[in-house]
Structures are given as structure tokens and as C-alpha cells.
Structure 1
């Protein structure tokens, strides 16, 4: 694929209320996933494999956790000294509020400038909360072959798999000829057995996106560009592209937990991370995890640098986690630097970074009510 033919815009401002407290101080894009990855790694990896070298990130708040993770973008070949690069635009929420109060600035100025400087003909637009391994090159070829204005990526799911998803997430509506009629929120779906879930990923020409932005300014419509494309979708010709790989929408605690636990299934893990397009992330060199003679670790994913002396069943253990002898961790997600004391029990729980579960303490959830413990919390024994 020719360099600079494509550029990409990622919206990191998605609603994270159903993911708190995990998103109290980080956007959805920065959430850890499967021990050593972040949610944003999936979009950036797809972009890298498509040889896109100009990417803009529009971030809701300060973006500190995003900057710490992506750095120069070298892990995704986005650190070119010649052309392209990774460009960040933070405080989007503040800018939107400010613009609504003072209607004298072009809210979409940075989007326009980025696309002009990228010198690209086409743009890939996406959010950051979708876990998927999308072949952007394949989507691009399909987009060009079909000759429509906008290509929207979707995955067909069984209706029963949507029961714990955010009802405001959207699905495509098709007519009898499989032509896109629009988008509908999950909460408004009928009795269909299959649902065509939108990945909130779009391909369109830079010219078309600039046209959409011009219309939005004229009509005083201000929102992030992926939402803007949804808003004007039916005013353009639309080409649906069906994605068939593993997909998860990280829009709630329940979905975040389930998607992580899905990675304990070897087939899910392998198809997502080790296809022809491996998922890339920032490299962290560390010592291997130590398994003490007293440890009993079963059906779990364990990152480097941890000390395991207790029992761990069907759990995901991040870097530098300490599980003491006599401790029991089951069906849980334990994030970086957490310490679990002797005799402690953790079941059906998500422990954020730096938590301490004191000896003898219990953190017990259920499959239908996963317990979430905020970062750096100390859990005393009763």
C-alpha cells in the first residue's frame, strides 16, 4: 500500500461512565487488556499493518496515560522522521464545551489541518473501545472496489450476546436487499435473532469527510467525527463490510471483564493476537514470573515479573503482581503491582493497579456481579 494514501483519525472521547472506577483517571483506550496490552493497541496495530503513517488521536482530557503508553509511536512504526507521525489533540471535552459557549471558533479546525498535512486521499475513522484485529488493507480494497462514499465495518452477532452490552451501542439496519438503512441503538432492537453490530469504524475519502464537516459547521452540529459520520450516514452511499474475527465492545464493566476472560480460551487468544497481523504494544523488558513450589496456577494468563506462591485459577495476572502462599485467586483480573496476602481470597473481581489485599482478607464477587476495586486501594481483613 502506498504511503500517505491513507491517514487515520481515532476518537478517544467515548462515554466511559459504565466503566468507572476503572476509567476514573484514564480513558477507555488506556485500559489494560490481556495482561500486557492496552485497548488502543488494537486500532494502532491494524493501522500499522496497513502502512498508515499519519494518525491523529483526539483525547477527552489530558491524555497523560495515553502519552505514557504511545510515547513516540515507535511500537507501531509511527515515529517517522521523514513524513507522517502520531499527532495528539487533548482536552476535546473542554473544547466542545468552550465552543458551545463561544461560537466563533472552528471546532473541526484540527481535523481539517491534520488531513491536509497528511496529504492522504482516504481516511480511516474509528473509536478506540473495540477489541478486534481488523485487516484495514482488505477493507480499503473493498471500499475502492465498491465505489461507495462510506464503508462501515460491522460484525454479525447472536442477539443473546448483547444482553450485558450498553443499550446505546449501535447496530446496522438493512433493507431486504442488504442495503444500509441506518443505525439503531441496541435498546431499540426488535426480535431479530442476529444483530449487525457496528464497530464504529469507517472508510471514506478525505473529500467526503471534509464535506461532512462543512455541513456540520453550517448546521451547527458539533461532535466527534466518528459520531458525525453516523449522524450524516444516510445522506451518502454506504458500503457495509462484514468483519468475521473476534470482537468485543469495551463499553461497560461487564463487557470488559468478559472480554478479558475470553482470552483464557486458547482459540480466542490465538485468533486475536497471533493471526497474520500480530497485535503490537509498547515493549517492557522484565524478568520472567517466578512460580514458587507452593504455587498452583491453572488455566490462567500470567505476565512477566510476578511472584506466585498461592493458588490461581482462571485468572489474568498482570506484571509485578505478588500472590502469597495460602492466597487463592479465582476468575479474576489482577492488574499491575497488586499484592495479595497470605490466606486472602479473591474471586470474580477486578483489582486495579497497586491494590493491596491484606492477609486473610476476602474480595468475593459473583459471575453476575463482579467486584471492582479502585487503584491503590488497601483491603483489610475483617
Structure 2
């Protein structure tokens, strides 16, 4: 029997990651490392776990190996302790989208439906996967039930200049004087507004309503991720709007990914995201503390465990197992797990992916408006200075 207020969760890891390459050559946006020891997916999984949701379905665009490696059994988020719960993954959604017409008898949304049925939940939380925030899903559900509306959309009031470039699936909500949603605007349609009500692409609705919307999508020949399906039919339903007031980062460009990491160097941003009553959970890794040589110089930095710092690190985020040798300088950069930075090397305004080797004397120097981005396992020699 369906629990009165039981929740399920569907997360769509299907966002277009082409603009993030080479960082997304082997991982979706949701698997990008963040703030030293986390992944972007950790924030949604933590919110789901704190809401008492015992299972989640992840619909992944490609193979999903990076996600599987990070999540494993879901122990970090307590998904492995429920006999009928767990994390259920459905990979190759992009291939399925491009080939679903080859089998006219197969329901494109079959896995979505069967997951919701087997979850025995009354409500479902549906979201994309590129928002960094600390969301209280139980509070969203409470407001949704009290509203009596068909569905609830989560939004954040942002300054117009912070929205940035247009994105094909992002919308701002338009309210009338009674705070009813009467329209959706694309980013390039925003003109004189000082503040905008940016949808976070997160929705809560009943499983029955979700199935109704899926039926409508099939009738109309609309095949895409569920969050985009809901957005498409949003104004055809009665809609409650839930305002999120905490820290948010929308990871829709490499620049935004970089800036979100830099934001964490400010104590108020870090505290707002990580020091709430709902802690952010991630897979634990046992490792030694970071070693700081007595001649090292470190200021305004996040440095994860297992690293060794002999040189200078300023205004940067350093992930696990990174070595910065003597006289090496790292400024305004994000250095991902396992990278080795040789003696006398100079890194500035850069994102260096996992397992890279920056040889002694090499330079990787970008600017704030033109970041230097080095893909996984790359070796940069001194003669190959990246400018």
C-alpha cells in the first residue's frame, strides 16, 4: 500500500556537457569534483537523504562509470540500509532518446514509471543535476501539500546580472500581483528586471500527476528528461512556488564551475552551504592529513587531505592527494585529485583535472575571462607552457 506522504526522487543527469570538455570527457556534470572533497551530485543526494527518501533513480546520459564509482552502494547517504530502497541507475539515456523510435512498442518512459510504482511513494521529487544548493525537500513537500496545487516548483531570487548567458532549458518565473505563476521567460528575454525568479529545475508533485504529465508527453510526441517535461507543461497545471533562500551555484558553464569553487573561499558562502542543520554528505576516503612544509606559503585556500604543500598556494581549491613542490606557485586555481605540480611551476587562473603532471618550471597561466583548462592525466612540460 502506498504510504500517505512517502517520497521518491528522480534525478536527471542528462544535461548537455559539451561546453565543459575536457572536464566532462569521461564524467557528467554531476560528477565534477567540488570544494576539495565533494562532487556536485552530493548536494542533491544529501537533500534526498535528509528528507527520509529511501530510494532515488538516477537517469544518466552516457555510461555513468564516474557516478557508479562515486556512489557505490549509496552507504554515504544511508541508501543501503533500507530493504526496499537504494539508488537505481539508468544509463545511456542519450542513446535511448536518439533510438526510441526504432522500437515503437517500447515506452520511452517505462523505467520512470516502473521506478515510481515500485517505490510505493505518493509524491516524487524531480530535478536536474547541475545545481549546487542545500535544499530542504521536507519543507518543500509540506508547503506543496498545504497549497493544494498540482505541483510545486523551486526558485531562487537572483540579481539579473548574475544570471549570465542564455541556456536553452533555463527559465525565470513570472508572477502576477497575487503571486500566481503566469509565465516563463528565457534568460535572453529578461530586459529591465533588477531581480529575477530563477527556476532551479526542481519540482515536487504526486506520482499520479507525474504519470498524467507523462501520458500527455507521449500523446504530444515529447521525449526528453522528466524535469524538462514538467517545465514544458508547467503552465497547464496549478503551480505552487517554493522560494529557496540559501546559497546557490548553477553549474552551466566552466566559468560558473570555477566561480562556485572560488565562492567557497569566502567563509559566509562556505558556512551557508555546509554548516546548516542539513550537512552535506559524501563518500568517505581514509587518508593522511595534508603535509605543509615549514617554508610553504598558503593563504585563502581549501586543501583536502593527503596532499603535500612545499610551495605557494593562494586563493585556490586543492583536492585530495595533490603535491605542490618547492618554489611552485598556485594562484586562483582549482587543482583536482592526484595532480603533481613540479618545482618552480607556475599555475594561475587554471583548472587542472585529475592525475595531471605539471613538470618543473612549466607554466599554466590563464586569465579570469579565459581560464586555462587542462584535461585528465595530461603531462605539461616546461616547453609546453599553457597561456
Deviation per residue, 1:295-318 (Å, 9 max, x gap): 101010000000100000010000
- Separation (CA, whole Å) in 2 of partners of 1:92 and 1:230: 19
Deviation per residue, 1:110-145 (Å, 9 max, x gap): 011000000000000001100000011111110011
- Separation (CA, whole Å) in 1 of partners of 2:66 and 2:284: 16
Alignment coverage as a number of residue pairs: 381
Deviation per residue, 1:153-175 (Å, 9 max, x gap): 00000011123564652211222
Match of 1:96 in 2: 97
Preserved contact between residue 149 and residue 238 of structure 1 (Cα < 8 Å): yes
Match of 2:231 in 1: 230
Match of 1:338 in 2: 339
Match of 1:73 in 2: 74
1:217, CA displacement in angstroms? 1.3
Q: Secondary structure at the match of 2:143?
A: helix
TM-score (norm 1): 0.97
Match of 1:87 in 2: 88
1:219, CA displacement in angstroms? 1.8
Q: Secondary structure at the match of 1:279?
A: coil
Alignment of 1:173-188 (within 5 A): 173-188=174-189
Match of 1:22 in 2: 23
1:189, CA displacement in angstroms? 1.5
1:184, CA displacement in angstroms? 2.0
1:365, CA displacement in angstroms? 0.8
- Separation (CA, whole Å) in 1 of partners of 2:344 and 2:161: 38
Preserved contact between residue 327 and residue 342 of structure 1 (Cα < 8 Å): yes
Q: Secondary structure at the match of 1:277?
A: coil
Which range moves more in the overlay, 122-131 or 98-107?
98-107
Q: Secondary structure at the match of 1:314?
A: strand
Match of 2:134 in 1: 133
Match of 1:35 in 2: 36
Gaps of 5+ in 2: none
- Separation (CA, whole Å) in 2 of partners of 1:85 and 1:45: 14
- Separation (CA, whole Å) in 1 of partners of 2:167 and 2:112: 28
- Separation (CA, whole Å) in 1 of partners of 2:206 and 2:276: 28
Q: Secondary structure at the match of 1:300?
A: strand
Match of 1:189 in 2: 190
- Separation (CA, whole Å) in 1 of partners of 2:208 and 2:158: 33
Match of 2:254 in 1: 253
Q: Secondary structure at the match of 2:261?
A: helix
Match of 1:152 in 2: 153
1:81, CA displacement in angstroms? 4.4
CA distance change for structure 1 residues 165 and 365 in 2, over 3 Å: closer, same or farther? farther
- Separation (CA, whole Å) in 1 of partners of 2:168 and 2:106: 34
Match of 1:350 in 2: 351
1:331, CA displacement in angstroms? 0.4
Preserved contact between residue 289 and residue 307 of structure 2 (Cα < 8 Å): yes
- Separation (CA, whole Å) in 2 of partners of 1:252 and 1:166: 10
- Separation (CA, whole Å) in 2 of partners of 1:81 and 1:264: 37
Deviation per residue, 1:3-22 (Å, 9 max, x gap): 97100000000111221111
Gaps of 5+ in 1: none
TM-score (norm 2): 0.96
- Separation (CA, whole Å) in 2 of partners of 1:293 and 1:197: 47
Preserved contact between residue 54 and residue 82 of structure 2 (Cα < 8 Å): no
Tell whether 2:213 aligns with 1:212: yes
Match of 2:172 in 1: 171
